Amino acid sequence: MTLQVHDHLLTLLPEKALILDSTLILADTHFGKSASFRARGIPVPEGDTAQDTGRILVLLDRHRPERLVIAGDFLHAPEGKSPAVLESLAHFFSRLECETHLVLGNHDHRAGPLPRDWPVTVHESLALGALTIVHDPAEAPGDEFSICGHLHPVARIKDGVNTGFRTPCFWLREMSLILPSFGTFTGGAIAHPADGERIFAPLHDRVVEIPRELMPI
């Protein structure tokens, strides 16, 4: 599924990321989330870090972008910066062949600064051509089209006959596109699109638009 915004072509990927020109953009990885649960005494198994870095590497290998941008909430919490998590993220960065940018999100601010030797450029917001990448849509500039995360949008789909279900989705608003959360161990909040707004969700190996009829309020 591709969308045209100004002069840019946005390709929505079923892997919950998007390609803008030659940039791969994804949001809300929340690395170290299970580690922060364990640090607080809740036994949640590790596995999400390896899985999610692996998913990013697969996407980079397939699309060969010049740039990787994480639109916020790369890390989950200060307790999540365990030696093991930091080590596997360092290993992940050592394998990247493209430049990497992080637009800070609220969780990144709480988690504290990244290790200095990571090859990541950090931004509060990032302009790419006519578009802006910013984590929280509430902080997006009103007059420019923004690409955001933060909301973890999930579409609630039901047709009134069969049992309904929920699925992570892209949410296109008048001046912004909200990305689904990328992390395996992240939840979601149900998106309530206003009139004129559009919802897109992964279906097998593509992304489809969800008709309004399948999302009753």
Angle of the 83-94 helix axis to the 48-63 helix axis, nearest 10: 10
Nearer to another protein, 115 or 129 (CB): 115
Nearer to another protein, 84 or 127 (CB): 84
Does 34 interact with another protein (rule: CB under 8 A)?
Answer: yes
Q: Which residues, at least 6 apart from 185, have a Cβ–Cβ distance to it below 8 Å? A: 30, 33, 34, 44, 48
Structure tokens at 93: 């960065």
Residue 124: strand pairing partners: none
* Count of residues engaged in binding another protein, rule: CB under 8 A: 41
Neighbours of 28 (CB within 10 A): 25
Closest contact distance (angstroms) between CB of 4 and another protein is: 23
Nearer to another protein, 62 or 192 (CB): 192
Residue selected from 116, 165, 174, 196 as contacting another protein according to rule CB under 8 A: 165
Rounded to a whole number of angstroms, the CA Rg of the chain reads 17
Count CA atoms within 13 Å of residue 69 on its CB side.
Answer: 27
Closest contact distance (angstroms) between CB of 162 and another protein is: 5
> Residue 82: what are its φ and ψ, rounded to 5°?
-75, 155
Nearer to another protein, 145 or 185 (CB): 185
- DSSP one-letter string for 80-134: G--HHHHHHHHHHHHT--SEEEEE--HHHHHH-PPPTTS-EEEESSEEETTEEE-
Nearer to another protein, 141 or 211 (CB): 211
Site string for another protein, 49-78 (x = CB under 8 A): --x------------------------xx-
Closest contact distance (angstroms) between CB of 175 and another protein is: 28
**Interacting residues with another protein (CB under 8 A):** 33-48, 51, 76-77, 79, 82, 84, 110, 157, 159, 161-163, 165, 167, 184-187, 201, 203-204, 208, 211, 213-214
